[in-house]
């Protein structure tokens, strides 16, 4: 039997700290609100998203804590810089246990005039992998992202890097893209405290196709791959780090708000599909959105070389009791039945592995969410959500039913939504 | 350095566009502009992003539209911020620099005419209104002629080698349009003084042209669906007895209108909002004909009763 040591799987999370520079920057930007009524070419679009909630209990790996709280309160500025470049800046104000933080979620420039359907985006931005990831949280139909996103991408994955995308001149929509990121939020734990991480840790490649079926239906299908150089846990450490026992699994970092992924691996594969329907293709009154995504995070740990050779004979036995991948999926349906009311139902399942002493133990998390939302206009939503969860192997999550009340309001520029 | 970069890019674009000129791809945001493009550039391949059964304010920036815009040489839209909820997203995703600027292959109809109801100040509490005025321009015959001239100029700018052809198409359209306009003016004069309750300011220009008075709106605020309290208010107004009919556009939900019509004993008239909005409206000419016929019928019926 191989002896895998316990390690403190703390995340190499980059905890955002309130930053004096940020505060100065923000206060310098605020006077721009005076011009927010009529964004013009010479005037950047300014928008604010207000998100407040009450939640009856804690949920596994979510950013919202029990009780009253504020979600991500967003301030965004965007404009064409000149005929070649577009720029966007999005800051998110977060509040956790009495502390305020300012995060820069987006600060990127994008080319607007490259020929032949090429676009380059650089800076900090949301990765285009999967379906939901490049969408802003405030456009979601549920209060939290599916467990797949919370577990593998820290809710939604934004990072510092560069993207090249290409849209083919085909009759059917066909997008190809590749990204490279620093990947600090997706680093596996540094159990030895001596690990040397690659500074460019994450590479992605994705493709999306899509089209219409008649006048009433539209669809999109995507495949994504993410390679994470720093995503594997190594099991080098031989000592037991007792005082870290209570947080010996990343998966137990339930109140983590650093946007770091709880589970990482070397290879992540994502398949996503979305289908939208509206009577006569008219989205004013009723419309339906069905979406589903599947995530597989493979090679989440690697054996130290010397151990590997020492215990080579037992390797087969090892493989018997643990799979070397995590996986998660969800299906979601949201129906807007009048301009004022919509309802959504989502089911998701996460199957992950957590390290206990000398072995990995499987965990599962099943969540069913029912969401009912009232929209007074495009700009205001009040949501009631009932979430039922059952889990195996997560320690601090005994509550089965959680009720969340939430409002999401947008002020300022009318931002165009993605499909 | 930057200048060199631009020179390189524009020379690449130029060489590409020459090969693409076999057939011009025109992307119209609304069916009325697809119909206008068909009059002025019948040789082009024309695609309309929406139908007359769809609310042009609320369109999904869906994959098929991105693909169409990627290949477009000219994008023709109403403008005045009508498409602000989806056009910028399409432009960003389609990565087609040729149709991003009105200096090149982007055309906003509202840029070329005076819009009605321009506002100096806009606040969201006023509903979904825009400072640039009402963008539903296509029921103004004079404005449409001005727009047709401007669109012809744009076509010539993009394809100077076909200038004579575009001039010819415009001359033909202009002649037919002016002749039809005279007839429409005559028919519209009989509708003068008609009072209606309508949904949104969708037919603002039609009512302006025909001298019809929209005494109330089914929407409590622009962009907001009718509420029961607002409908009750409208019922009081309708009971004053001077209203001819309740008008909704082909893409609008007639339920609120029907409720009001039942209570107030008024007819509901569904007018095609654009080309394709009913069987009769196959092009801009038949759209005007159909709308005026329906209005005249309603007006005559009301006067007879």
Pairing outcome for strands A45-55 and A401-412: antiparallel
Contact A378 B85 (CB under 8 A): yes
Q: For B193-227, write each residue's pLDDT tens digit.
A: 999 999 999 999 999 999 999 999 999 988 888 88
How many CB pairs below 8 A link A and B?
137
Q: Are A377 and B224 in contact (CB under 8 A)?
A: yes
How far is residue A337's CA from residue A353's CA, in Å, rounded to a whole number?
40
pLDDT at residue A300, as a whole number: 87
Beta-strand ranges (E) seen in A40-157 are 45-55, 67-70, 73-80, 85-96, 99-111, 118-126
Answer whether residue A218 shows pLDDT above 80: yes
A38 touches chain B (CB under 8 A): yes
* Phi, psi for residue A410 in degrees, rounded to 5: -120, 135
**Which of A30-34, A40-44, B297-301 comes out lowest in average pLDDT?**
A30-34
pLDDT at residue A239, as a whole number: 41
A377 touches chain B (CB under 8 A): yes
DSSP B278: S
SS3 assignment, position B118:
coil
B210 touches chain A (CB under 8 A): no
Sorted by where each starts, the structural domains of chain B and their CATH numbers stand as: 2-183 (3.40.50.1980), 190-304 (3.40.50.1980)
How far is residue A378's CA from residue B127's CA, in Å, rounded to a whole number?
10
ipTM: 0.87
pLDDT at residue A243, as a whole number: 39
DSSP B42: T
Contacts for B203 with CB less than 8 Å, ≥ 6 apart: B136, B139, B214, B247, B249, B271
Q: Are A364 and A349 in contact (CB under 8 A)?
A: yes
Answer whether residue A308 shows pLDDT above 50: no
pLDDT at residue B35, as a whole number: 98
Contact B61 A110 (CB under 8 A): no
Q: Report the mean per-residue pLDDT for chain B.
A: 91
How far is residue A229's CA from residue A232's CA, in Å, rounded to a whole number?
8
Kindly indicate the confidence band of residue B8, based on its pLDDT and cuts at 50, 70 and 90. low
pLDDT at residue A8, as a whole number: 36
Kindly indicate the confidence band of residue A258, based on its pLDDT and cuts at 50, 70 and 90. low
The token duo for A126 is: 């949301």
Q: Which of residues 96-155 of B touch A (CB under 8 A)?
A: 96-97, 100-101, 121-124, 127-128, 131
- Give the gap in angstroms from C-alpha B227 to the nearest C-alpha of chain A: 10
Q: For A112-123, write each residue's pLDDT tens digit.
A: 999 999 999 999
Sorted by where each starts, the structural domains of chain A and their CATH numbers stand as: 20-412 (2.40.160.10)
Report the helix count and the strand count for chain A, using DSSP H and E. 4, 19
Average pLDDT over residues B239-254: 93
Contact A112 B92 (CB under 8 A): yes
Kindly indicate the confidence band of residue B188, based on its pLDDT and cuts at 50, 70 and 90. very high
**What does the DSSP assignment read for A72-90?**
-EEEEEEEE-SSSEEEEEE
Axis crossing angle, helix B163-189 with helix B141-158, rounded to the nearest 10:
170
Average pLDDT over residues B143-155: 98
Contact B85 A416 (CB under 8 A): yes
Task: Compare CB distances from B95 to A119, A209, A414 and report the shortest one's residue.
Answer: A119
Average pLDDT over residues A316-340: 81
B94 touches chain A (CB under 8 A): yes
- Give the gap in angstroms from C-alpha A292 to the nearest C-alpha of chain B: 17
Q: For B75-102, write each residue's pLDDT tens digit.
A: 999 999 999 989 999 999 999 999 999 9
Answer whether residue B63 shows pLDDT above 70: yes
Kindly indicate the confidence band of residue A9, based on its pLDDT and cuts at 50, 70 and 90. very low
**Which of A65-69, A188-192, A386-390, B183-187 comes out lowest in average pLDDT?**
A188-192
How far is residue B242's CA from residue A164's CA, in Å, rounded to a whole number?
63
Answer whether residue A28 shows pLDDT above 60: no
Task: Compare CB distances from A114 to B16, B61, B95 and report the shortest one's residue.
Answer: B95
Which of A20-34, A51-65, A187-201, A208-222 shows the highest mean pLDDT? A208-222
* Phi, psi for residue B10 in degrees, rounded to 5: -70, -30
Contact A173 B6 (CB under 8 A): no
pLDDT at residue B304, as a whole number: 81
Q: Are A69 and A52 in contact (CB under 8 A)?
A: yes
């Amino acid at each position: 039997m191989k002896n895998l040591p316990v390690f403190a799987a703390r995340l190499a999370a980059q905890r955002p700290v309130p930053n004096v520079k940020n505060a100065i920057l923000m206060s310098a930007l605020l006077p721009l609100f005076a011009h927010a009524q009529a964004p013009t070419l010479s005037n950047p679009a300014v928008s604010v998203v207000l998100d407040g909630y009450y939640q009856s209990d804690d949920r596994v790996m979510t950013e919202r804590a029990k009780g009253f709280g504020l979600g991500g309160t967003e301030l965004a500025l965007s404009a064409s810089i000149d005929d070649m470049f577009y720029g966007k800046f999005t800051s998110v104000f977060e509040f956790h246990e009495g502390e305020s933080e300012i995060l820069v979620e987006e600060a990127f420039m994008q080319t607007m005039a490259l020929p032949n359907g090429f676009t380059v985006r650089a800076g900090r931005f949301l990765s285009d992998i999967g379906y939901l990831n490049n969408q802003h949280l405030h456009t979601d139909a549920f209060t939290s992202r599916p467990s797949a996103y919370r577990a593998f991408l820290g809710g939604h994955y934004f990072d510092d890097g560069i993207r090249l995308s290409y849209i083919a001149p085909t009759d059917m929509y066909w997008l190809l893209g590749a990204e490279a990121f620093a990947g600090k939020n997706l680093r596996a734990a540094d159990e030895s405290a001596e690990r040397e991480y690659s500074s460019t840790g994450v590479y992605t490649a994705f493709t999306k196709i899509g089209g219409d079926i008649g006048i009433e239906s539209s669809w999109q299908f995507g495949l994504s791959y993410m390679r994470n150089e720093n995503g594997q846990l190594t099991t080098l450490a031989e000592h037991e780090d007792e005082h870290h026992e209570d947080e010996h699994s990343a998966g137990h970092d339930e109140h983590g708000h650093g946007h770091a992924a709880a589970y990482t691996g070397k290879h992540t594969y994502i398949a996503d599909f979305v289908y939208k329907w509206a009577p006569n293709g008219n989205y004013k009154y009723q419309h339906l959105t069905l979406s589903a995504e599947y995530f597989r995070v493979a090679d989440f740990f690697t054996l130290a070389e010397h151990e590997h050779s020492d215990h080579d004979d037992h390797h087969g036995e090892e493989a018997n009791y643990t799979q070397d991948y995590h996986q998660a999926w969800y299906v979601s349906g949201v129906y807007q039945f009048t301009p004022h009311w919509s309802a959504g139902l989502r089911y998701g399942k996460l199957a992950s592995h957590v390290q206990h002493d000398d072995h990995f133990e499987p965990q599962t998390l099943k969540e069913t969410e029912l969401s009912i939302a009232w929209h007074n206009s495009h700009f205001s939503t009040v949501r009631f959500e009932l979430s039922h969860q059952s889990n195996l192997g997560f320690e601090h999550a005994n509550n089965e039913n959680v009720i969340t009340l939430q409002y999401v309001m947008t002020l300022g520029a009318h931002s165009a939504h993605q499909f | 350095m930057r200048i060199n970069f631009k020179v390189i890019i524009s020379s690449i674009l130029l060489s590409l566009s020459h090969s693409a000129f076999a057939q011009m791809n025109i992307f119209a945001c609304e069916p009325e502009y697809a119909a206008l493009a068909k009059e002025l550039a019948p040789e082009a391949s024309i695609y309309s992003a929406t139908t007359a059964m769809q609310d042009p304010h609320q369109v999904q920036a869906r994959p098929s539209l991105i693909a169409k815009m990627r290949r477009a040489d000219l994008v023709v839209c109403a403008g005045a911020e009508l498409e602000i909820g989806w056009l910028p997203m399409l432009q960003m995703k389609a990565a087609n620099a040729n149709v991003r600027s009105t200096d090149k292959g982007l055309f906003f109809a509202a840029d070329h005419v005076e819009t009605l109801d321009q506002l100096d100040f806009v606040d969201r509490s006023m509903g979904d209104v825009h400072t640039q005025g009402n963008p539903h321009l296509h029921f103004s015959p004079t404005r449409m002629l001005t727009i047709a001239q401007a669109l012809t100029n744009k076509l010539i700018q993009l394809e100077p080698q076909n200038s004579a052809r575009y001039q010819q198409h415009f001359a033909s359209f202009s002649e037919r349009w002016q002749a039809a306009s005279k007839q429409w003016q005559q028919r519209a004069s009989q509708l003068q003084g008609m009072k209606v309750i309508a949904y949104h300011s969708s037919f603002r220009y039609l009512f302006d042209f025909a001298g019809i008075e929209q005494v109330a709106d089914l929407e409590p605020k622009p962009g907001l669906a009718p509420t029961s309290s607002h409908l009750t208010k409208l019922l009081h107004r309708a009971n004053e007895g001077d209203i001819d009919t309740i008008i909704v556009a082909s893409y609008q939900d007639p339920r609120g209108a029907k409720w009001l019509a039942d209570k107030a004993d008024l007819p509901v008239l569904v007018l095609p909002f654009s080309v394709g909005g009913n069987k009769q409206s196959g092009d801009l000419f038949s759209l005007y004909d159909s709308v005026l016929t329906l209005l005249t019928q309603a007006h005559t019926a009301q006067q007879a009763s």
